[in-house]
Amino acid sequence: MNAVLKDALKAPVSHIIIIALFAVGGVSIPLDWFFAWFIKDALIIKLLAETTIRAILSVVAGYFIFKYRFNRAFTQKCSVISIIAVLPALLVAVNNFPIIGVINGNVKIYADTTQLLVYILFCISVGFYEEVVFRGLIFPLCYYVLRKIKWQVFWSVALSSAIFGIIHIINLFAGAGFGATILQVGYSFLIGAMCAISMLITKNLFVAIFLHTVYDVGGLLLSYVAFGNQWDNVTVIITAVLGVIVAIYMVLVCIKTPSENLRELYFSDVELNFTENKKETNL
C-alpha cells in the first residue's frame, strides 16, 4: 500500500474535503487571457479556456486515481446486460436537450459549426473532469467512511452526490441568481446519483462520463450556444414523469446491487473492516 492510499484510509474525510476544494478552486483559474492572444471569437476563447483548465485538472485527478489505486473503474468491461440496465439513465440525459423547443422554434441555436464543435469538446471536458473527481475519487472515499453502517452503498451515493451538488453554490459568486443556483444544486445531486448508480451497475467510469457529457451537451446549450425558452408545458410534463420513473428505477436497481460491486471496483486489493452484519450485503 503506497503512502497516498495509506494516508487516505487513515483520514478519508480530510482527503474528501481537499479533493472537493481542488475541484472548486481549480476550475476558477482563468485562462481566457492566453487564448485571447490569437483568437478573436469571445465564445471560443471562453470555451477553450474552460476546456483546457479541466483537461489539465483531469490529468492531475487521474494521477491521484492511480495513486489511490482506484483505476480499475477505468478498465472494467461492461456486460451487455449492464448497458441495457442503464439505458433509462440515457433517456434522462437525452431529454435534457431542448428538443421540443428547437422543433417549435422557441429555442434558437445561433452558434456556427466551429463554435458548436468547441462547445461539444467543452462538454466532454466537463463530464470527464467531474466524473473523475466525484465518482472516481470522492465516491469511493465516501464509501470507505460509511463502510461500517447499514446500506453503505446507498448512503455513499447520497453523500458523494450531495457534495457534488453543494459545490455548485459557488455559482452564486459568479453572478447566478439564488433560485437558479439552488435549482442547479438539486439537479446536480440527481445527475450525480444517477451517474454513480450507473457506474456501479456497469463497473465502468466511462459510462458515467458518457451520460454526464450527453446531459451537459443538452443542459448547457442555452448557456453558451443558443437562446430561448425550453420549458414549454409538454417538456415540463415529460421531464417530471420521466424523472420520477427513472429515479424509482435507479433506486430499486441500486438496492439490488451488492456492495461487493463497489468493494471489488475500488478496494479489491485492500483489506477493509466492513460491517459484521452478514445479512446486510446489499444497499
Q: Print pLDDT tens along the chain (283 aa).
A: 678 878 888 899 999 999 999 988 888 889 999 999 999 999 999 999 999 999 999 999 999 999 898 888 888 888 899 999 999 999 999 999 999 999 999 999 999 999 999 999 999 999 999 999 999 999 999 999 988 888 888 899 999 999 999 888 877 776 667 776 787 788 889 899 999 999 999 989 999 999 999 999 999 999 899 999 888 888 889 989 998 999 999 988 887 877 777 888 888 766 655 544 444 433 3
Q: Which three cell numbers stand for residue 204?
A: 465502468
Nearest CA-CA partner of 50 in 31, 70, 24, 72 = 31
Burial class, 203, CB count within 10 angstroms (exposed 0-12 / middle 13-18 / buried 19+): buried
- Side chain identity, residue 277: N
Q: What is the DSSP letter of 102?
A: H
Nearest CA-CA partner of 194 in 95, 266, 86, 98 = 86
* Burial letters 148-185, b for 16+ CB under 10 A, else e: eeebbbbbbbbbbbbbbbebbbeeeeeebeeeebeebb
Res 260: pLDDT: 79
Residue 207's H or E segment, with its range, is helix 205-219
Cβ proximity of 161 and 189 under 8 Å: yes
Res 196: pLDDT: 94
Nearest CA-CA partner of 26 in 65, 6, 52 = 52
Radius of gyration of the chain (CA): 19
Q: Which three cell numbers stand for residue 112?
A: 456556427
Res 270: pLDDT: 66
* Rounded distance between C-alpha atoms, residue 213 and residue 207, angstroms: 10
Instruction: Count other Cβ atoms within 10 Å, centred on residue 145.
Output: 17
Burial class, 75, CB count within 10 angstroms (exposed 0-12 / middle 13-18 / buried 19+): exposed
* Burial letters 20-35, b for 16+ CB under 10 A, else e: bebbeebbeeebeeeb
Cβ proximity of 71 and 192 under 8 Å: no
* Rounded distance between C-alpha atoms, residue 183 and residue 175, angstroms: 15
Res 176: pLDDT: 65
